[in-house]
Structure 1
Amino acid sequence: MTDSGTADAGADAEAVRSEVRERGDRADVLARSAAPALLASAEELYAGHRAALRCPEAFAAGVSRGEARELVERSVRAEFAVAMTVSERDAAHELEVA
């Protein structure tokens, strides 16, 4: 390879590193600006989950206390999934990390 080819490769590599840094910086700015909304969303999910656990019969009428817990959890995940227009699996994950 000639010196010119080596210089071009070095310039390309530097340009790519610069682009990666710039995109990383932009991702950081976006993540920081989204953080308050994501926190508020997590707090609402947590509060909704706690409310459901305070009154399990609202989601599991006519079953024993032991059976109610599982049914309440499934029902709450389903409610959140519908409200958030996501799958129940995604809603369960959001609830776990809330």
Structure 2
Amino acid sequence: MASFKELLQKNSVVLVDFSAEWCGPCQTLAPILHEVKEHYGDKLSIIKIDVDKNQALARNFSVQGVPTMILYKDGLQVWRQSGVLLKSEIVKIIDKFQV
């Protein structure tokens, strides 16, 4: 499996979703992110990271609450938000960084 850093560099636009199975808002966000992925197809990669299974990675990114989404463009963090957003809000943010 590719490393986290390799995944960020391999894809132009990557949305990382830090979440947990027990998290109600994370469960609400999951189908919204599925719709966002369908909207963009291959232009966007979404990586879901379970903070309970990847505690060190969550700590490295200072994730203190879930869900936390971080958007990367060409390997650089360009946006970060904790909490649930509507599909339209996420699309609007991603569109700012799309080529």
TM-score (norm 2): 0.23
Structure 1 or 2: more strand by fraction: 2
| Greater relative CO (CA pairs within 8 A, separation 6+) | 2
Structure 1 or 2: more helix by fraction: 1
